[in-house]
Chain A
């Protein structure tokens, strides 16, 4: 880095603007351009200087991203699970791991997936029974994962697996980087009730991980997984931003291709949330707006979704003002489930007989039908409503915890029968 480093945010953003005018080329190759960004440190300015960043604050880094956006320049790859991988590596990875993986995360060359949930451990993620057995300098992996977005085109997976069955549940897990392109890894797409296939199942049969791909230490996997999960919601929101790439140039053609692939699993997510925005339009189209019974339900939905919006704004404003988080900050997910469920009911009632149909010939090109068959996912994905209520009751209201039956050596803990045999 230059010796006379600019100091204030304004100086830095001016510098970045200057740098972009000298280096930006819309006809460049996407990976080549991003390699330049990684090496200059401007693509991830809040990352450490040793690892493709400039050690600047998150706020300054956000200001730099704004400069990129205003300039119309492409930034580093930000979508999908790769940002979770980056956050996890930055916090827990060793020097070699960071040097090896972080650059290709920024350039978008490598795709990543998360290998956490299992058929036998959903809400109870730490009950994972995929096993990792050390054999010389390699871990041998056996077991199964599920709900793995993008696993079918991922180069690497973030894996939690059990390395010690005599330790307590949370203490026997380890966290690995798994090469997805190897004979012992089989990825199968998982079809959903709404006809989409956004997730995969991943089967391991004597898959291999070199010892140096262990992140942190053996037995510390749960702590590392917490970092990944803490970043999940944030980067997830970002990945769903519907970026419309309209500029001309070779680099934008490549970018559009990348975004189409990474956004594909999420096309039905707006429908999953209930499409409250469509309700008034539909009610007017069908005349439901003149029916006093339907009006009551529409009004209930409006009240719920407006109140939830204001509650989120309250939480955000309090956070911005540096106030301690109040209960309003923990309720968004439960509110979203309620809104989606009520919205699906309202859409059903408004559509009446048309709710019997599906596909492109049904109302609104099948969007209404997709709402009805997608909403049940909201109250499950990312933590079920039941778990969310436990969290709210215990952490926000301070009520007593559930009695536990999973203490002591994990080997002795009662588990789903299908998952049992892997412990032998």
Chain B
């Protein structure tokens, strides 16, 4: 059923939610965001091994739970609500899916189990100086300056990747680079020769970014690599991020609702003023619409079976349309919720002590990360037009 979660999914959500409430309070977030590592290894171990969150969407034979994008999206939404600090998005969402999609059977069996169990952390390095994600999507032309040169035993990687999430914590890097034909996905050990990782001072301290430089670093090509897989990975990452964002926006709305009811001015709670009420009603509308879009994007991924196979019948244009639709909608509502939440708190909302800025920075960072709302609207419309062209051609 596309439009409601099953009982099992609701129960899974409850257990994720309870765990994160316990382990990712704002006290925890504030403590962790001030560290270089940015996450708690014990909590990471628990959520990977005891709750199986890192492998919920991965096949059972590799140590996962065998569910799909909808369950992954549930984890992301709950993490967004609690602003969980940890490499889930980098490792479980981006890197694990890259391996699933581009790795051959042996590579998956070798590399994925430790990522699924959380023992190893991986990340995905795509963007370079321009930092653009979305323009690569409809073009299979090589647009990367990083290169992988074939040698007798594997490849040697050269180049510089930017804005790589959780690279500082990664054991394994999945890197997009040009080889002798096109571009492909390459696995590099973070400790390998010629790999230099430089932490960046990110505006959102809960999202740790780094630049990564490769100088003749030994790399292994993922054997099923195809350029169009990058588009699917952007779809998966955008869908996951959209779900994370609607979770964060919900927390901001809840915070604004509770604060405005507590705050009395002119002899009445400020939540009784229509100037506040109507804006909260509008925010609720925008949020519920974005939630529907985020859930639908996850469902469309699941329906098209792109997760586990390279199904030729899958409707990739529909997947891209829904993923970018959700990313654009969720980015807008997250930032809107953050701005309204600050405004409705008044002066206190601008202080470091108040928690709103933690989510504001996450919202701002998520708005830009993976492409701005405007870029995703354009990407969505291109995918939509491709479908109507298909329809006309088949008619």
Residues of A whose CB lies within 8 Å of any CB of B are 280, 289, 292, 295-296, 298-300, 302-304, 306-308, 310-311, 313-314, 316-318, 321, 323, 327-328, 331, 334-335, 338, 386, 388-390, 392-394, 396-403
Q: Do A304 and B289 contact each other (CB < 8 Å), given the known contacts A313-B3, A334-B281?
A: yes
Contact B285 A335 (CB under 8 A): yes
Q: Do A310 and B284 contact each other (CB < 8 Å), given the known contacts A296-B377, A303-B380, A403-B272?
A: no
Specify the chain A residue showing the minimal Cβ separation from B253: A397
Contact with A along B260-303 (1 / 0, CB 8 A): 11000000110110101110111011001111110110000000
CA distance in complex: A63, B117 (Å): 52
CA distance in complex: A395, B78 (Å): 25
Contact A292 B378 (CB under 8 A): yes
Contact A307 B293 (CB under 8 A): yes
Contact with A along B344-355 (1 / 0, CB 8 A): 000000000000
Which chain A residues border B92 with CB–CB below 8 Å? none
Q: Does B374 contact A (CB under 8 A)?
A: yes
Contact A308 B282 (CB under 8 A): no
Q: Does B386 contact A (CB under 8 A)?
A: no
Contact A397 B257 (CB under 8 A): yes
CA distance in complex: A389, B280 (Å): 9
Prevailing SS type, chain B contact patch: helix
Closest Cβ of chain A to B3, distance in Å, is: 4
Closest Cβ of chain A to B320, distance in Å, is: 13
Which chain A residues border B380 with CB–CB below 8 Å? 299, 302-303
New contact pairs (5) apart from A314-B295, A328-B288, A397-B280, CB-CB < 8 Å: A289-B385, A303-B325, A331-B284, A399-B272, A399-B280
CA distance in complex: A289, B385 (Å): 9
Q: What are 22 pairs between A and B in contact, CB < 8 Å?
A: A298-B381, A299-B378, A300-B377, A303-B329, A306-B293, A307-B289, A310-B3, A313-B2, A318-B4, A327-B288, A335-B285, A338-B285, A390-B277, A390-B281, A392-B281, A393-B277, A397-B281, A399-B257, A400-B269, A400-B271, A402-B272, A403-B272
Q: Do A386 and B278 contact each other (CB < 8 Å), given the known contacts A295-B378, A314-B3, A316-B3?
A: yes
In the A-B complex, the 9 residue pairs with the smallest Cβ-Cβ separation, listed nearest first, are: A299-B377, A307-B289, A310-B292, A393-B277, A400-B272, A317-B3, A392-B281, A389-B281, A311-B292
Contact A310 B295 (CB under 8 A): yes
Contact A399 B378 (CB under 8 A): no
Looking at B274, B277, B291, B380, the one whose CB has the most chain A CB atoms below 10 A away is B277
Closest Cβ of chain A to B7, distance in Å, is: 10
Prevailing SS type, chain A contact patch: helix
Q: Does B388 contact A (CB under 8 A)?
A: yes
Which chain B residues border A399 with CB–CB below 8 Å? 257, 260-261, 271-272, 276-277, 280
Contact A393 B281 (CB under 8 A): yes
Which chain B residues border A298 with CB–CB below 8 Å? 381
Contact A296 B378 (CB under 8 A): yes
Which chain B residues border A280 with CB–CB below 8 Å? 388
Partner of B329, one of A307, A327, A396: A307
Q: Does B96 contact A (CB under 8 A)?
A: no
- Number of chain B residues close to chain A: CB under 8 A: 39
CA distance in complex: A203, B2 (Å): 51
Q: Does B328 contact A (CB under 8 A)?
A: yes
Closest Cβ of chain A to B50, distance in Å, is: 29
CA distance in complex: A314, B290 (Å): 12
Which chain B residues border A316 with CB–CB below 8 Å? 3
Q: Does B1 contact A (CB under 8 A)?
A: yes
B346-395, CB < 8 A from A: 374, 377-378, 380-381, 384-385, 388
Contact A389 B277 (CB under 8 A): yes
Which chain A residues border B271 with CB–CB below 8 Å? 399-400
CA distance in complex: A310, B329 (Å): 13
| A-B residue pair count with CB separations less than 8 angstroms | 124
Contact B285 A334 (CB under 8 A): yes
Which chain A residues border B272 with CB–CB below 8 Å? 399-403
Which chain A residues border B281 with CB–CB below 8 Å? 334, 388-390, 392-393, 396-397
CA distance in complex: A399, B278 (Å): 10
Closest Cβ of chain B to A280, distance in Å, is: 7
CA distance in complex: A117, B391 (Å): 47
Closest Cβ of chain B to A325, distance in Å, is: 12
Which chain B residues border A292 with CB–CB below 8 Å? 378
Which chain A residues border B381 with CB–CB below 8 Å? 295, 298-299, 302
Partner of B278, one of A295, A323, A393: A393
CA distance in complex: A403, B268 (Å): 10
Specify the chain B residue showing the minimal Cβ separation from A315: B3
CA distance in complex: A306, B295 (Å): 12
Closest Cβ of chain A to B312, distance in Å, is: 26
Which chain A residues border B274 with CB–CB below 8 Å? 386, 389-390, 402
CA distance in complex: A93, B278 (Å): 39
Specify the chain A residue showing the minimal Cβ separation from B382: A295
CA distance in complex: A163, B384 (Å): 59
Contact with A along B223-242 (1 / 0, CB 8 A): 00000000000000000000
Specify the chain B residue showing the minimal Cβ separation from A314: B3
Q: Do A393 and B329 contact each other (CB < 8 Å), given the known contacts A302-B381, A310-B292, A317-B1?
A: no
Closest Cβ of chain A to B332, distance in Å, is: 9
CA distance in complex: A386, B274 (Å): 9
Which chain B residues border A295 with CB–CB below 8 Å? 377-378, 381
Which chain A residues border B295 with CB–CB below 8 Å? 310, 314
Closest Cβ of chain B to A315, distance in Å, is: 8
Closest Cβ of chain A to B203, distance in Å, is: 25
Contact B328 A303 (CB under 8 A): yes
Which chain B residues border A310 with CB–CB below 8 Å? 3, 292-293, 295-296
Specify the chain B residue showing the minimal Cβ separation from A328: B288
Which chain B residues border A302 with CB–CB below 8 Å? 325, 380-381, 384
Which chain A residues border B328 with CB–CB below 8 Å? 299, 303
Contact B280 A306 (CB under 8 A): no
Looking at A295, A310, A323, A397, the one whose CB has the most chain B CB atoms below 10 A away is A310
Which chain A residues border B3 with CB–CB below 8 Å? 310, 313-314, 316-318
Closest Cβ of chain B to A298, distance in Å, is: 6
Which chain B residues border A335 with CB–CB below 8 Å? 285, 289
Which chain A residues border B277 with CB–CB below 8 Å? 389-390, 393-394, 397, 399
B1-15, CB < 8 A from A: 1-4
Specify the chain B residue showing the minimal Cβ separation from A323: B4
Contact A396 B284 (CB under 8 A): yes
Closest Cβ of chain B to A163, distance in Å, is: 33
CA distance in complex: A295, B269 (Å): 43
Which chain A residues border B292 with CB–CB below 8 Å? 307-308, 310-311, 313-314, 328
Closest Cβ of chain B to A329, distance in Å, is: 10
Closest Cβ of chain A to B77, distance in Å, is: 14
Looking at A303, A323, A331, the one whose CB has the most chain B CB atoms below 10 A away is A303
Partner of A307, one of B260, B268, B290, B377: B290
Which chain A residues border B278 with CB–CB below 8 Å? 386, 389-390, 393
Specify the chain A residue showing the minimal Cβ separation from B256: A397
Which chain A residues border B385 with CB–CB below 8 Å? 289
CA distance in complex: A307, B119 (Å): 38
